[in-house]
Amino acid sequence: MRPSGRTASQIRPVTITRQYTCHAEGSVLVEFGNTKVLCNATVEEGVPRFMKGQGKGWVTAEYSMLPRATHTRSGREAARGKQGGRTLEIQRLIARSLRAALDLKLLGENTITLDCDVIQADGGTRTASITGACVALVDALTYMRSKGIIKTNPLKHMIAALSVGIYEGTPIADLEYTEDSEAETDMNIVMTETGKLIEVQGTAEGEPFSFEELDELLKIGKHGLRELFDIQKAALA
């Protein structure tokens, strides 16, 4: 029995609210249960220096937790003067994942920045960020086409992400904080709507896991991700 009362493969209620703020070209509040992340997409002309002159666009991401998104307050990174390793690791994952959703050549020399700010955290903030940011990205692309900045839709496929893990010996999907903090193994899966993998990151927090357990985790993840694609589609309809 999970602390959340959910079945092993059951994901939390997921809500995707578009146009959550008024200035961004794409603005999505994504909620996985009590985890709430604001994903804003910004379209800017030009690309970073290392990309110049290749006729291709760029997608980047920044991730942050509000100091009191968590049970106890964590110090503000701006006040400490640097972003922590966890933050950098997560925003690199978000950016890499979303770049894999686009044909960067069709984006022209433009940059889309995805700001994922965690308003409230209850496990799975990085996977919620990716899932929400993909919807914000689609809205930003629609904006770009409406303004004539791009002609062809660069989106190759939607992507979504889900956390899975081994909790008291059983593989479960979409861990909330109380489950996550006790899980032996923690895995994040980023998948395309066509059922292919963008990123798989599995970590033994306690005991090492077997190749068979990895297999089960992938299966349960794949199942939950199908649901997420349906929710994204409904939100974009």
* C-beta of 71 vs 151, nearer to a copy of itself: 71
- 203 secondary structure, DSSP code: E
Place of tokens 């995707």: 16
**Which span (124-132, 147-155, 162-170, 214-222) binds a copy of itself, by CB under 8 A?**
214-222
The whole-angstrom separation of Cα 129 and Cα 134 is: 8
Residues 6+ apart with CB under 8 A from 137: 26, 41, 59, 98, 101, 102, 112, 114, 155
Is 126 within any annotated ligand binding site? yes
Provide the residue type at 26 as one letter: G
Q: Are strands 110-120 and 58-65 parallel, antiparallel or unpaired?
A: parallel
CB of 215 to a copy of itself, least distance (A): 8
Please list, residue by residue across 153-187, b when 16 or more beta carbons sit within 10 angstroms of its beta carbon and e when fewer do. Answer: ebbebbbbbbbbbbbeeebbbbbbbebbeebbbbb
Minimum CB separation of residue 79 from a copy of itself in Å reads: 6
124 among annotated binding-site residues:
yes
Binding-residue pattern over the window 88 to 127 for a copy of itself, x denoting contact by CB under 8 A: xx-xx---x---x------------x-x-x-xx-------
Q: Which residues ranging from 191 to 210 are in contact with a copy of itself (CB under 8 A)?
A: 191-192, 194-204, 207-210
The reply on whether position 69 binds a copy of itself by CB under 8 A is yes
Choose, by CB under 8 A, the member of 19, 21, 54, 170 that binds a copy of itself.
21
| Gap between the Cα atoms of 65 and 75, Å rounded | 10
Q: Which residue has the tokens 């303004």?
A: 147
How many residues lie near a copy of itself (CB under 8 A)? Answer: 65
Residue with tokens 């997409």: 41
Q: Is residue 77 a contact point for a copy of itself (CB under 8 A)?
A: yes
Binding mask 141-180 for a copy of itself (x = CB under 8 A): ----------------x-----------------------
- Which amino acid type is present at position 56? K
The neighbouring-strand residues paired with 64 are: 117
Annotated binding residues, as ranges?
Answer: 86, 124-126
Site for a copy of itself, rule CB under 8 A: 21-24, 27, 34, 36, 38, 40, 42, 44, 62, 64, 66-71, 73, 76-79, 81-89, 91-92, 96, 100, 113, 115, 117, 119-120, 157, 187, 191-192, 194-204, 207-211, 214, 218, 222
Annotated binding residues for phosphate, as ranges?
Answer: 86, 124-126
